[in-house]
Every structure is written in structure tokens, then in C-alpha cells.
Amino acid sequence: MSSTANQSSQVPVGFNKRSRVPGVTITQFVDPLPAGKSTPDFARKTMNVTAQEGKKAVFKAMVSGEPAPTVTWGRNKGEVEDPQIYKIKYDERAREHILEIHKVKPIHADTYKCFVTNEYGKAVSTATLTVLTGGMKKNNHAANGQAQDFRSMLKKTVVTRKKQLPPKKEGEIDPKLWELLLSAPKKDYEKICLDFGVTDFRWMLKRLNQMKKEREEEQAKVVENLDNVKQIEVKPNGRAEFGFDMKLLDPNSAIHLYKDGTMVPYGYDENSKPCLKKEGTKYVFTMKDLQPEDAGFYQVDVEDANVLTTDFQVPNVEFTTKIKDVKAVESEDAIFECVLSTPLNRITWSKGNSSLEHGDKYEITVSEDKLTHMLRVKDCGMDDTGAYYAIAGINSSSASLTVEADPNRRKGKTGDQDGLSKAALQKEKDDLDTKGDGKDGSGDGTDGDKSDGDGKNKNLLGDGDGDGKKKKRSRTGPLVPDTVVDRGVQFVSGLSDTAANVGERAELSCKLSSDTSEGRWYKNGKLLTNGDGVTIIKDGACHRLIIDCCNKDDAAVYRFEAEGRKSEATLNVEDPPHIDPDALGKFTKPVIIKAGENAEWKLPFSGGAPMTIQWYKDDEELQPGLNVKIDISDTESQLRLMKCQRKDCGEVKIKIKNEYGTREAISKLIVLDKPTPPQGPVDIMESAVTSVEFKWKPPKDSGGCPITNYIIERQQVGRNKWSNLGEIPGSNPSYKDSDVDPGRRYCYRIRAKNAEGISDYLQTEDIAAGVLRYPGVPAAPKVVSAFKDCINLSWCPPCDTGGTKIVGYNLEKNKKGTNYWSLINQNGPITVKPKFTDHKMKTFVVVKSGNTVRLNINFEASPLPEISWVKDGIPVPKHVTITNHDKGSQLLIPTSERSDSGIYTITVRNMVGQESFSIEIRVTDDPRPPGPVELNQNIPGTVTLCWASSPDEKRDDRLHYMVSKRDSFKRTWRTVADNLFNNKFTVVNILPGREYYFRVFAKNDMGLSPPSESPVFGTKKEKGQFKVNMPEMKSLDFEAPPSFIVPLKRRTAPQGYECYMSCAVRGNPAPRVTWYRNNISLNTNTNYHITNVCGVCSLLILRVGPRDNGEYKVVIDSKLGTAESSMSLNVRE
């Protein structure tokens, strides 16, 4: 594939790929990569650094990538921009990028990151800086000779107790379990719950998350950051440790340790028990010389905030059988096993000072009686050698694992010579004192040594005529007889093993000592040319073989030969998981469904087998179950979540993994549902005589879409009827009810509404309206001033206003010696601004033509007001009768007509002010039916109805139409359209073979008109001619090579008992079956009973003895091929 084609097919992506350096994360931006380009990587990553306070700390890194990447530095907590502290430079000679931190302090202890970026990707390497603080302050303080009054430093010992946890109640969860789960990582939930006898903890997660949120808010008051919390664990050295990483807001905050609710003193030196060790932000509590009385419920608090809770249990248990030393051959499994005196759910396994977890490398199993515990170390390597510990309670047992090299494994290639190995030749070369041309050019960089085919290695020694670039000392004469006078062309650098991904560019190169020498390239012994999908380039002494787009067939052994010299290398073509960018883009779109529906994700992929497919939801792996369906094939995987609810919302991730790399894709699940009920309590904002106002909180869960409205209902206390007060906008959760009677008590129901439905209701407590009563007595009047013709008085208003506003006072006087009181208000009668007193007045009235219209409007005003009525802004007609009195006015139309429709406005005016009120009166009549109905079918499956307008449409702007439908199958009328203000409608879902009838009604405020019926509409279902297409008969080849349906499985049998092993095979023709033990055929051995029934091959050993130990193998063969399966039989004494 040309580079132009590569660039045109580049798709921006973002996925992780594996680095050749452990601990480095690479994100690739472009897939596929152009020819000659690569993502950035680390040739040598940054390493952890420990520095003394006040000294200098240095991080170094070597990077690679094409084009040359850009290197930047960062840290988790802060920046690295201060030039007084941080210095960033590049050493060209060593090709190292360097970050120096001068005069380090404890605040500099952090995780530092090195970012390497180019246009095709980004690589990140992390390293930790640990700052060691000295204990010099106390010594210096004492050395200053300052007099210290130790008597004044003595304090009274006070036993401080922590607030005790509530005791466990029958049928409830132990409070200690909640405390432990708050401090434990998710992966330990199951183990902790098992210790408390809880087998199903999923129902506890909702409450646990709420408790965690509250605990984090409490911790945030004193702690800036808290992570890496570790529960108590007994180490091989006999000490118990627990700790965490923590950064305090105030470094002087007190740290308290409690055991079973009682504060425990601790020290900072090794002799203290307990002892607190602090390095930077890392805090570790240790306890030595463990005793049974050390068991307890430990808690660590910073001030009053709990940061860690752990339960230290010391069971009364001993090792009945301790673990024993194990020897294993490289790549085999090693097993440690111990037996306890008391059943335990689990024990601690560790190597050195590091605990071991169940996973890909280590398999930890427990017997059904909880007495036998086993650790399996899988695929042993040389680095697995060491001491292993089994820790139960405060007792431990140790044993060593010795890993021996596999004698059958090939150490290297020998070319045409079988006499010396690569290691032996290299050792002999290192002992030479001279080299012919400054470098040993006879090797190829991979095979190490080659020969000319006669059994003698001609390239082992130099002739002493080189330039001597790397001379150690001169030697007079060769170590072996020199049988070659002319050395000929030599390899300056040979081929090297190379690995490349499918679709990427691969290159093999070597360099000769001669620029004019020609050579040939071979693939698995076959000569290659430029026309074989490869490009061969000769650039002087350099020879290159380029494969622009690798595929699986390109994986082979490549050899370059020139004038009898050879160099070989292996090209490994890796096939990591690959996802099509279009499918990835479709997968990453959020899946939005309604509650109760099923959610589905499907993702095709490609890559080398075998592949491991894992689905995750919110970082928890999904397993197939009742509501989780996972389908996996060689090219795609599908996930179905059944009957999803709101709690299922979250992130959905698929992880595709094989031996060459890992790919991830992330999507989101959004489940829509009706909202939860509004939240209480309801706050009463106003409770007056004429109105009640209250507010509430929005629902805790809006159902995934915004709240559009709140529906309010009201019930008067003592009655059963609930009245609908209507809907209010969802933006303001409050309501004011202005239609209440003084002194009445009301109860309200509030429902939230969104696009998915209506929630359950929130019911308020009884809310009482204000009581209308007479005001209290004003204070006694006081004489302010007196004259011959006037007296000025003043008084204070009453304390009790009667629930309403004081509008005026009546002042009377009485002449001394008489009983007559007369009104003496200066302005005469009390003045009252006009106000309408009926709060239930309607603003819209519909009257049938010919009926009487009577409107009564009540008001209060003083002095008597002037009353006027208008219709649509002009005086009312003469046939309209107006009757006024001191507290109201009446409008009367004896016989109404359509022309009386309009807006009637009453205005009440006096010297204080005026007030107006408008009422719309609509005089109408039963509508007349619309005209004839016509039917048209323009699109199959639909029919369009057209009808003439009703004669009343011009006189009634609120007239509209309604359409009903009936078919010959159901024979019931059903409304298909309403509120139609036009004369046309299209009905869908018309099925062939049925007859349909339609009715059109005119509708207004008075009701429905008689219907206008349509003619019968029907279509015939045409049946097509039935044809049978007979498939073409093809001959089938039932032959199949032999293979195993069920392979042999490893077995362990007790001595003296029978052992039965079997496997299932298939193949056509039926294959021949041969059993072997330790590569010796058993088919003729009468001590073994061998059968083969319908492809099930069985071998029975009637009485197992020590001689039956070994490897058992089944070989099946036919003319189409051969297959084998093997297993190991261990005889237990």
C-alpha cells in the first residue's frame, strides 16, 4: 500500500496500545499509521526517586518516535513551572530528558509524569518522589541549652472514648460492617461481607453510596486528599500494618487512634506499639509482638473526621500442615498447600513483604471444609524464585520456591554448525585480544555465529589487520590455526528480530563491510524479489527489506546471503484488536431508552485469536445472568440489558484483549422514566384570610428529562372530594391558592410531570387559611393639643388586626352629662376604594342562543360609586338591562342572540379610586353538520378525507372538527382526530381486505353536531402467484481432519484407587486412537483398559500405583492429519 493511500485512509481515533516498556501508557491518535511513522514511546522510562530533604532529586527519561516527539513534565498536585525549583533540560550526548528538583521539601513529594507527544500519539510514564525528613529539630532544640521544665510538661492522663457504634439489632446489619465497607475498596466488599455472614450485598450499595458521600463531606473539612487506604494485614515479619496516603488541610491537625472506641496512644519509633511511620503523605501504623489481646476494631480519626476503619481478628488457629519447599521447571506451575486446625474463609499469602491476590498469575483456592488452603503460581519464571508465606491470624508458615531452567528449551540458533552454542561462542569472542576490523562482522546480530558449511567456524577470529578501534592488547598469533587467507565480505551489523502489527510497515536491514557486494533475500528458504509484495533496497553497504503493509502470512524467518555469508532474523506479525472507526463512532453514541425497555450494544472487531471480551458497567464487570445477555463470536460481541430501570444509567465499556494488545470502547446508557414524587417538607410561605402560599422541593430524580409541569389537587379537610386546581410551570416549585375560605383547613397533593409521565403525589399536612374577625380595641386616645375650636387627638393601633388590614377608624364624642355619642370624623363617612368582593367570578361565559344572560357583580366602595358597563369598548345595547345597588350591579339580557357575544367590562369609580372587571360572553348554538365527505387514496395504507365546511364556521371562530373511524373487523367507532381547524385529514394504518367507515363532526363550546358519514372505503388484497424455487443440489464433502471435542484434563488420584480418564474426538474417516504414557504406547498393555465408543476414548486404571505417575497423551491420526491431547496424572499418597 502506498503512503498516499495510507494518508487518505487515516481516521482520527483514540485508543491505548501496548508499550514495549512495562508501566508506560501509549494512546494512538491515527489508525493506521503512515509508512515510516510511529507513535512516541520510552526507550527508558522514568524511575522512582527517594531524596533527603534539602537535597536534589533528578528524573531521567529516553524517548523514541517518528517524527521526533515533544517532551513535557507535570505532577499530580501542582505545576512544575517555578524556575527556582524545577529545571528541565536535555542531554544530547546521553539523549536523556532530565527534570531536576532543587532543595526538595516534603511538599514536593508527589507523582511526577513525563508526557511524550507527536501528531500520531502520546505516551505517559509516571514516577514517584519520596522525601525523607530528618528528626533534627528536637535535637537542636535540646542542644541550644534551653531550660526545660519537665514538671510543667506533665499532663493528666485522660482516657478518651470515641462515640460508640449502636449495638447490632436482631435482623439488621451489624453497624461495624457499614464502617468497614466505608473504608474498603470495592474489590474487598465480598470478602468483608462474607466475614459477617452476608452473602448478597448488592442491595446495600445504594445506602452505602449515600453514607460514603456524607463521610467524604465530613473528611473534606480537615483532609485535602485521601487515597490508597489499606486494611490491616499481618506481614511475614510478624508485624501488623494498616495505613493510607493523606494530605491534610492543616499540618497541625491531630491524628487519633481508637481501639474498640477507646483512644490508644502511639509513638513514632520502632519500639512503640503501635507505631506511626510517616513519609511524605504516606501514613502507616504498625504493631509488633502480636498477641491475641491485640485483636479489636481500630479506627483512625483526623480531628473528628474518620479516615480509616479496620477490624483486626486473631482467630485461635494453628498450622496442622505447613507449606513445604517447592522446585519447579520454568514455565510449569508451582503449588503450596497448608492445612489449618480451625476453618477459615481465607488466609493471607505473600511473597517477601508483598501480599498476593487471586488473578492471572496466582490462583488461591480453599477447600469446602475451609481447612485446606492452596496457592498456585502459574507459568513459573526465574523471577518467581523466592520465599513465600502463608499467614493465618498471627501465625505464619514459610517455604521457598526454586525455579530451574528448562533443559529442553533452545538457547539460540547455530546456523550450519552444531558444535558450539551462542553463549559459548560469545564467551570465546570476549576472551579474544584482537579483532580484525574493529568489530566482529561474522555474526548477524540474531543468530550470533554462522559457518561456511564445512563444520569450521571461519568467522570466529580476526586476522589482526583491522584498525583496532576496540583493542584490548596485542597478541602474537591466533588462538586457533588460521585456515583462511582472504576473509572476504563480512557483516558489520546483522539482521535483528522484528515485531510489527498487521497493516503496519516492517523493515529488516543489515550492513556489509563492502559497498559493492550484492546479496539475496530469502523467506523461509524461498528467494524473494521486488514483485513478491516486498521492496528490496540497496544503499551502499546497507541492505533493506521493506514490507509496507504486513499481514499474517508475512510472519517468517528471513535470511540474507552475500558471498557465502548469512544472517537470519524472525519477523513476528502481531495482530492486536482492531475496531472499524465507523462502528466505533456508532458504538460511542449514548443509548437512550424508556424504563422497562431493553438496551443493546453491538461492536464488530478483528484481530488475532484467541480474544478475551469483557463488558463493564460503571467499572464493574458484567456477567451473563437473568437481565444481562452477552453474545460473543469471532468477529463481534453483543450486550443486551433487559428491562432497564433508572438505576441502570451509567457508562458501558467493552474491553477486547488478546496477546498483542487491548482496545476499549465506551458508550453511555440513559434510561428515561417518569419522575419521582416531589420532595418535602412543604414550607408554608403565607397563610392569609383569602390566600394560602406554599413551596416544595423538586423531585430527587427527574426521570432523565426536565420537569415540565406540576399538577396541584386540593381537598378541604372533612370532605372526600379532591379538586384539580390545574397545572403550573415546572420551573418554580411553589403555588399560591387564592380561592380559600377564612378559617378552613386544606390538604394538597402535588405531582411532577415530564415527557415520560406523571409521578406519584406528595401530600401536604393540613394547611389552615386565616380567620376573618373583628379587630382589637385601639389604645385610649390622648390629647395632643387643645384650642378653643379644636382638639387634636392621637392613639395607637390595635395589637390584633383581625387578620386583615386596618382600613379606617370611627371617632365619636359624648357631651358630659349625656348618653348620646355622635360621629365626629373630620372627613365625614369612611372612604373605601372600590373592590370586587366575589373571588369566584368567571371571566368566560358560554350561553346558548335564546337563553337569558344574567351577571351579578358584587363590590364594596364608600362613598357610593359611579358604575358603568361597556361592550367591546362601546356602551351596551338598549336591550341589555343594567341594575345597580350599593353593593353590586347586575347585567341582564332577556333573550340572547349571537350578536350579543363580546367582552363586557364593568367600571366602579368613586373619589378614592376605580376598579374594572371584564367578562367574555359567547352566545352560540349547537353546530350544524359539515358537508359531504370525500375519500382519496394517494399512498397505499392511508386514506385522505375531505369535507365541506359547516355553515356555522364563519360565525363561530371556535368551531372545529372531529373524525371517527370504524372498520369491518372491530365494528366500534374510535376517534382518530380532534381539534381540526381545517377541512382535510389523512388516516393511516389502513389494512387491505377490510372495509372502513368514517364520520366527521362539527364541534364548538355547546357540543357536537350530527355526523356527516363517508362512503364505504375498502381495498382488496391481491394474492400473488405462489412459486417454489427448488435449490440446486450440491454434493457435500463430509470428510474432516481429526480433532478433539473434549480434551484430556489434569487429574490427581489417591494411591490404590481406580482412575478413569477420557476425551472426545471427531473426524471423517474415523481416526485411529493411540494412548501413551511418558511417550510409551499403552494400546497393547494389559494393565490398562482402553475403549473407544462413538468417539469417546477412555482409559481405566483399576489400581493406581506410584508407577502410574507421569504424562498421558492421546494421539489421533487419519489420512487428513494428526492431533494430540495430553495431561498429567499425580498419585497422592
The predicted-structure confidence for 912-926, as pLDDT tens digits, reads as follows 889 999 999 999 988
Whole-number pLDDT of residue 1010: 94
Whole-number pLDDT of residue 902: 92
Whole-number pLDDT of residue 687: 82
What is the distance between the alpha carbons of residues 600 and 627, in angstroms, rounded to a whole number? 12
Mean pLDDT value across residues 205-231 = 84
Collapsed DSSP state (helix, strand, coil) of residue 170:
coil
Element (H, E) at 221: none
* Count of the separate structural domains present in the chain: 10
CA atoms within 13 Å, Cβ hemisphere of 1126: 10
Whole-number pLDDT of residue 839: 82
Does 773 map to a domain?
no
Range of lowest pLDDT (80-94, 190-204, 625-639, 711-725): 190-204
pTM of the model: 0.34
Whole-number pLDDT of residue 175: 77
- Give me 430's grid cell: 570476549
**Do 204 and 290 have their domain in common?**
yes
How many other β-carbons are positioned within 10 Å of the β-carbon of residue 572?
14
Residue 150: partners with Cβ closer than 8 Å, 6 or more residues away:
none
**Do 110 and 222 have their domain in common?**
no
What is the distance between the alpha carbons of residues 764 and 713, in angstroms, rounded to a whole number? 11
How many other β-carbons are positioned within 10 Å of the β-carbon of residue 610?
9
**Do 604 and 727 have their domain in common?**
no
**Do 541 and 600 have their domain in common?**
no
Question: Rounded mean pLDDT of the chain?
Answer: 82
Collapsed DSSP state (helix, strand, coil) of residue 177:
helix
Does 806 map to a domain?
no
The domain boundary residue, chosen from 293, 312, 331: 312
Mean pLDDT value across residues 633-653 = 91
Confidence of residue 168 (pLDDT cuts 50, 70, 90): low
CATH number for the domain spanning 304: value is 2.60.40.10
Whole-number pLDDT of residue 489: 79
**Residue 263 phi/psi, 5° resolution?**
-65, 135
What is the distance between the alpha carbons of residues 285 and 268, in angstroms, rounded to a whole number? 9
Of the candidates 379, 400, 381, 398, which has an alpha carbon nearest to the alpha carbon of residue 389?
398
The number of angstroms, rounded, from the C-alpha of 780 to the middle of its chain's C-alpha atoms is 76
**Residue 344 phi/psi, 5° resolution?**
-135, 140
Whole-number pLDDT of residue 29: 85
Identify the DSSP state of 179.
H
Of the candidates 108, 37, 30, which has an alpha carbon nearest to the alpha carbon of residue 75?
108
Of the candidates 9, 16, 15, which has an alpha carbon nearest to the alpha carbon of residue 32?
9
pLDDT at 809 over 60: yes
The CA–CA distances, whole Å, from 511 to 444, 508, 890 equal 9, 11, 116
Collapsed DSSP state (helix, strand, coil) of residue 8:
helix
Of the candidates 622, 620, 607, 621, which has an alpha carbon nearest to the alpha carbon of residue 656?
607
Residue type present at position 865: P
What is the distance between the alpha carbons of residues 381 and 368, in angstroms, rounded to a whole number? 31
What is the distance between the alpha carbons of residues 1128 and 1078, in angstroms, rounded to a whole number? 10
The domain boundary residue, chosen from 132, 154, 186: 132
**Do 705 and 762 have their domain in common?**
yes
**Do 690 and 753 have their domain in common?**
yes
CB 273 within 8 A of CB 280: no
Whole-number pLDDT of residue 221: 85
Range of lowest pLDDT (44-58, 561-575, 802-816, 903-917): 802-816
**Do 101 and 116 have their domain in common?**
yes
Whole-number pLDDT of residue 443: 40
Range of lowest pLDDT (185-199, 691-705, 898-912, 1058-1072): 185-199
Residue 140: partners with Cβ closer than 8 Å, 6 or more residues away:
none
Does 793 map to a domain?
no
Residue range 394-447, pLDDT digits in tens = 888 889 999 988 776 544 433 333 433 344 334 444 443 333 333 333 344 334
Does 801 map to a domain?
no
**Do 301 and 356 have their domain in common?**
no
- What is the extent of the structural domain holding 294? 175-312
What is the distance between the alpha carbons of residues 1100 and 1117, in angstroms, rounded to a whole number? 22
Confidence of residue 826 (pLDDT cuts 50, 70, 90): low
Does 788 map to a domain?
no
What is the distance between the alpha carbons of residues 670 and 668, in angstroms, rounded to a whole number? 7
Does 425 map to a domain?
yes
Q: Peptide bond preceding 67: is omega within 30 degrees of 0, i.e. cis?
A: yes
Name residue 520's beta-bridge partners: 561
The domain boundary residue, chosen from 382, 404, 426: 404
Confidence of residue 453 (pLDDT cuts 50, 70, 90): very low
Does 22 map to a domain?
yes
**Do 182 and 234 have their domain in common?**
yes
**821-860 burial, b for 16+ CB within 10 Å, e for fewer?**
eeeeeeeeeebbbbebeeeeeeeeeebebeeebebebebe
Confidence of residue 467 (pLDDT cuts 50, 70, 90): very low
Whole-number pLDDT of residue 198: 74
Do β-strands 121-132 and 223-234 pair in parallel, antiparallel, or remain unpaired?
Answer: unpaired
Q: Peptide bond preceding 274: is omega within 30 degrees of 0, i.e. cis?
A: yes
Confidence of residue 14 (pLDDT cuts 50, 70, 90): low
Does 485 map to a domain?
no
Residue range 131-156, pLDDT digits in tens = 887 543 333 343 343 434 444 444 44
**Do 202 and 74 have their domain in common?**
no
Range of lowest pLDDT (213-217, 574-578, 770-774): 770-774
Residue corresponding to grid cell 447490632:
168
**Do 998 and 877 have their domain in common?**
no
Mean pLDDT value across residues 652-671 = 90
**Do 294 and 338 have their domain in common?**
no
CB 406 within 8 A of CB 331: yes
